[in-house]
Structure 1
């Protein structure tokens, strides 16, 4: 799954005098973690989909299933740094085998 690295929102609620807009970005690194890092939380591999300055993170799988809405950074272990291409291993059945008649 490919992900963007920029924030595209152009308009904030109030523009200050002088025409300077407010910054719309959260800090890139929070407690050493960034968006889309692959982490292990309670034995499950997942991705950081949201970060809070308090050090809590929204953890999800690539299909969007929530693992935890607000997990503490103390319970996370980074497996892989973020890149624009996220890769997740999925367990599944192999293709069925057919007996030749």
Structure 2
């Protein structure tokens, strides 16, 4: 998927790195699978990002569920203690996270 760097200039280095990884990984998925995966992301009040354990089709045969996708591919949110921070604090809502990723990969 095409990365749109101009749109994410204002984010901190860490969140940019996260989005960059996200885009390269999810480039393996179809667009509908990606949107389904994004919809399943939930975020608690303290900024912890979780996802439902549902199957996802990727070209990588090792990755069967979304949880594995998160665990194996995006080390930034591997543990609950690791919070994703933006310039103005945490990404608190699922919608914000989805919007961020979407605008980054141009969906």
TM-score when normalising by structure 2: 0.27
Q: Over alpha carbons, which structure has the higher Rg?
A: 1
Structure whose residues are more often helix by fraction: 2
Structure whose residues are more often strand by fraction: 1
TM-score when normalising by structure 1: 0.28
